[in-house]
Amino acid sequence: MTTIFNPCDVANTVCGRRFCSFKVDNTLCGRRFHSFKVDNTLCGRRFRSFKVDNTLCGRRFRSFKMDNTLCGRRFRSFKMDNTLCGRRFRSFKMDNTLCGRRFRSFKMDNTLCGRRFRSFKVDNTLCWRRFRNHRGNKPL
């Protein structure tokens, strides 16, 4: 199987490495991508800019948007709607759940569990240690 592609369009599944620009409709598994769009599932590492609609699992992303689930580390700026699990984030917004450590500024609506946060707001549940500024509706 050829593992090096430049720009390409596929309809169902792409598994490979060192892609630059492409689109897939269902599943993409690879590493070292730069810009692409997928509709359902993306699993990889060292991505820079992309959009996914359902699930993204990777590390060392910088800017992206997704709608449901993101699991990774060392993100800087992004937005998501449901779930984010990772570490070393700086600025982001989410609506439901955030689990991680070493965050600085963010907003969420339901649940936050982590340590070493500085400024944030939550509406329902907050579990933390060694925080400076915080707000929550339920006492610890």
Residues 6+ apart with CB under 8 A from 76: 62, 63, 89, 90, 91
The stretches of 60-115 forming alpha helices (DSSP H) are none
- 111 plus 55 within the same structural domain: no
- 65 plus 82 within the same structural domain: no
Q: How much is the pLDDT for 117?
A: 41
Count of C-beta atoms within a 10 Å radius of residue 126: 22
- 94 plus 56 within the same structural domain: no
Q: How much is the pLDDT for 85?
A: 44
**In angstroms, rounded to a whole number, what is the distance separating the alpha carbons of residues 70 and 67?**
9
Is 68 among the domain residues?
Answer: yes
Buried b (16+ CB within 10 A) or exposed e, 60-95: ebeebebeebbebeebeebebeebbebeebeebbbe
Is 104 among the domain residues?
Answer: yes
How many domains is the chain partitioned into structurally?
2
Residues 6+ apart with CB under 8 A from 125: 110, 111, 112, 113, 136, 138
- 21 plus 33 within the same structural domain: yes
**In angstroms, rounded to a whole number, what is the distance separating the alpha carbons of residues 45 and 74?**
11
Q: How much is the pLDDT for 56?
A: 44
Q: How much is the pLDDT for 95?
A: 39
Q: How much is the pLDDT for 27?
A: 46
- Domain boundary (27, 42, 72) is at 72
- 82 plus 140 within the same structural domain: yes
Q: How much is the pLDDT for 130?
A: 34
- 79 plus 62 within the same structural domain: no
Per the CB < 8 A criterion, the answer to whether 116 and 130 are in contact is: yes
Is 3 among the domain residues?
Answer: no
Q: How much is the pLDDT for 113?
A: 46
Q: How much is the pLDDT for 33?
A: 42
Q: How much is the pLDDT for 70?
A: 43
Q: How much is the pLDDT for 128?
A: 38
Q: How much is the pLDDT for 106?
A: 44
- Domain boundary (50, 72, 94) is at 72
Is 57 among the domain residues?
Answer: yes
User: Which residues in the chain land under pLDDT 50?
Assistant: 1, 3-140
- Domain boundary (36, 57, 72) is at 72
Domain that holds residue 111: 75-140
- 81 plus 59 within the same structural domain: no
The partner residues of 121 in beta bridges, in order of sequence, read 107
How many helices (H) and strands (E) the chain has is answered by 0, 18
